[in-house]
């Protein structure tokens, strides 16, 4: 039996080879034409050309004449606290807040920015020919599209595609695409002003699950954590995209999902960034490296942004058993020294995906165990929501002293933002078939914009 079994595949292979030889001998040679790129009239992809060329399409939407703004990730002052004085409801009816409008989006977690009655969101449309990133400008009033600027780029599905929030100024809107393409457009018309490919031009590495960094516009510059061979951090001139300065990166730290945050220390303005190998602070004036430490790094994924908690202290947190860390900056002999003040275990206080909120000397976060928790600035947990009130990896913000918190499946909860204890006020199902509702929230004039993996909705949360 063993000899027969060994003979069968050998014989089969011999007959197959003979058949192939006869087919090639009897079949006349076919005529093939060389395929010349561009002859099929398809728009070239970004990877093929190295240039970011896109298409601007005008829509029927009109800017709303409504107050309030949320012009970038975590709001105007990067605190994730709304300073708008619009009165908000402290309870909801049986049906929850009124849904003013909703729309479909490509898979992702990209949140909205709001300014001058317009909503800006970075989207990805895999069904478009060719597929690509689309920066969309919508009416805050009804969600209708005012314009969209899209450019072709291939992205494979990997826990969604787009996941960054644009930054909007009076003149410009800046966005970072999943594969680290930076675009600056006219905020009103959508016309392209400039674009950069951080991978091609600065040797950046696209993070796992694509870029999650939101651009920081500070004065006349766009500040980016590049993490490439040519720059750890970089400042681009907002008006034309020209490089103003770069910070050397001899340690070859790579880009993470964390965003750059500004900080004032001893009369100097710094930019703080969590890269793959640690945390660094650079001068806002020329980009020179002022300090760095490898005391804080997450081997798998660094997502939350550093929180400035006052008196030269930084609160750092993350998932994957990283826990949390407080760093203290100190000035000595003309240099800045960094010291570790406190390290917290994951079970004590952490936030795996969203950046904690500093509000009235307390830190609020959804921890790795899914509970909403409040801690003092010494890291002591004041209260937690309990095992019966979990939110997964959902987003949260504070407005009018109220915490808006959403869970993975699109259930929105209203909680009092107080250190006294966990005080839930209302709850509503926003997305009927909600899934991975992780995108950062935005609020302006009592209009709360939320999203899950494939839909965005605008809710009226004003006090009636």
Using CB atoms within 10 Å of the CB of residue 389, give its burial: 0 to 12 exposed, 13 to 18 middle, 19+ buried.
Answer: middle
pLDDT digits (tens, 9 = 90+) for 237-261: 999 999 999 999 999 999 999 999 9
Residue 43 pLDDT exceeds 90: no
Sheet holding 447-451, edge to edge: 98-104, 455-460, 447-451, 442-444
What is the Cα–Cα distance from 403 to 351, expressed in whole angstroms?
A: 16
Position 108 in a domain: yes
Residue 51's pLDDT is 65
Question: What pLDDT, in 10s, does the model give residues 388-429?
Answer: 999 999 999 999 999 999 999 999 999 999 999 999 999 999
Whether residue 25 lies inside any domain: the answer is: no
**What band does 226 get if pLDDT is binned at 50, 70 and 90?**
very high
Asked if the structure places residue 15 within a domain, the reply is no
- Residue 15 — pLDDT band, cuts 50, 70, 90? very low
> b or e along 70-95 (b: 16 or more beta carbons within 10 Å of the residue's beta carbon)?
bbbbbbeebbbbbebebebbeebeee
Token pair 């910070």: residue: 247
For 171, residues 6+ apart whose C-beta sits below 8 A from its C-beta are 186, 187
Task: Give the pLDDT band of residue 299 (cuts 50, 70, 90).
Answer: confident
Contact 439, 453 (CB under 8 A): no
Taking alpha carbons only, the member of 234, 71, 51, 256 closest to residue 163 is 256
* Alpha-carbon torsion angle 276, 324, 285, 70, nearest 10: 100
Question: Nearest 5°: CA angle at 164, between 162 and 169?
Answer: 130
Q: In what order do the strands lie in the sheet with 243-246?
A: 216-218, 221-225, 233-237, 243-246
Range of the domain at 321: 48-460
Q: Within a domain: residue 295?
A: yes
Overall number of domains in the chain: 1
Tell me the Cα Rg of the chain: 26
| Cβ atoms of residues 373 and 403 within 8 Å | no
Report yes or no on 6 lying in a domain.
no
Sheet holding 172-176, edge to edge: 167-168, 172-176, 181-186, 192-197
Strand-pairing partners, residue 415, are: 403, 424
Distance CA 321, CA 301 (A): 11
| Residue 29, φ and ψ in degrees, nearest 5 | -65, 135
Residue 103 lies in a domain: yes
What CATH code is carried by the domain that includes residue 167? 2.140.10.10
Has residue 227 been placed in a domain? yes
- 127 pLDDT above the threshold of 90: no
Per-residue model confidence as pLDDT tens digits over 50-92: 467 899 999 999 999 999 999 999 999 999 999 999 999 999 9
Residue 157, SS3 per DSSP: coil
Determine, yes or no, domain membership for 316.
yes
CA distance 417 to 420: 9
Residue listed under structure tokens 């004039």: 445
| Residue 441 pLDDT greater than 90, yes or no | yes
């Amino acid at each position: 039996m063993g000899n027969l079994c060994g003979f069968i595949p050998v014989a089969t292979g011999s007959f197959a080879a003979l058949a192939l030889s006869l087919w090639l001998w009897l079949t006349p040679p076919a005529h093939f034409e060389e395929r010349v790129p561009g002859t099929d009239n398809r728009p070239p992809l970004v990877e093929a050309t190295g240039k970011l060329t896109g298409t601007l399409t005008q829509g029927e939407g009109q800017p709303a004449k409504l107050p309030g703004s949320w012009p970038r990730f975590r709001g105007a002052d990067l605190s994730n606290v709304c300073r708008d004085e619009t009165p908000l409801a402290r309870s909801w009816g049986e049906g929850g807040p009124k849904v003013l409008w909703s729309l479909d989006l490509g898979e992702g977690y990209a949140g909205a920015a709001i300014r001058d009655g317009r909503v800006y969101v970075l989207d990805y449309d895999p069904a478009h020919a060719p597929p690509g990133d689309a920066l969309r400008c919508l009416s805050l009033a009804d969600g209708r599209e005012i314009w969209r600027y899209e450019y072709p780029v291939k992205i494979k599905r990997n826990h969604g595609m787009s996941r960054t929030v644009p930054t909007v100024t009076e003149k410009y809107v800046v966005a970072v695409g999943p594969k680290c393409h930076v675009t600056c457009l006219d905020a009103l018309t959508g016309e392209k002003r400039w674009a950069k490919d951080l991978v091609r031009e600065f040797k950046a590495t696209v993070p796992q699950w694509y870029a999650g960094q939101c651009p920081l516009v500070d004065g006349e510059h766009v500040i980016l954590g590049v993490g490439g061979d040519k720059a750890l951090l970089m400042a681009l001139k907002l008006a034309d995209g020209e490089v103003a300065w770069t910070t050397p990166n001899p340690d070859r730290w790579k880009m993470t999902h964390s965003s750059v945050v500004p900080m004032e220390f001893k009369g100097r303005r710094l930019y703080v960034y969590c890269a793959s190998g640690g945390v660094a602070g650079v001068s806002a004036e020329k980009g020179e490296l002022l300090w760095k430490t490898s005391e804080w790094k997450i081997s798998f994924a660094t997502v939350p942004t550093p929180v400035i908690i006052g008196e030269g202290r930084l609160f750092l947190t993350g998932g994957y058993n990283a826990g949390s860390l407080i760093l203290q900056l100190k000035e000595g002999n003309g240099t800045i020294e960094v010291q570790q003040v406190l390290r917290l275990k994951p079970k004590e206080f952490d936030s795996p995906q969203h950046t904690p909120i500093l509000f009235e000397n307390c830190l609020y976060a959804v921890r790795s165990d899914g509970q909403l928790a409040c801690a003092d600035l010494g890291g002591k947990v004041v209260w937690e929501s309990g095992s019966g009130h979990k939110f997964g990896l959902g987003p949260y913000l504070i407005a009018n002293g109220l915490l808006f918190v959403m869970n993975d499946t699109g259930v929105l909860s209203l909680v009092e933002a107080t250190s006294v204890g966990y005080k839930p006020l209302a709850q509503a199902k926003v997305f009927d078939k909600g899934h991975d509702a992780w995108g950062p929230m935005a609020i302006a004039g009592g209009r709360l914009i939320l999203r899950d993996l494939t839909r965005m909705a605008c809710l009226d949360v004003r006090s009636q």
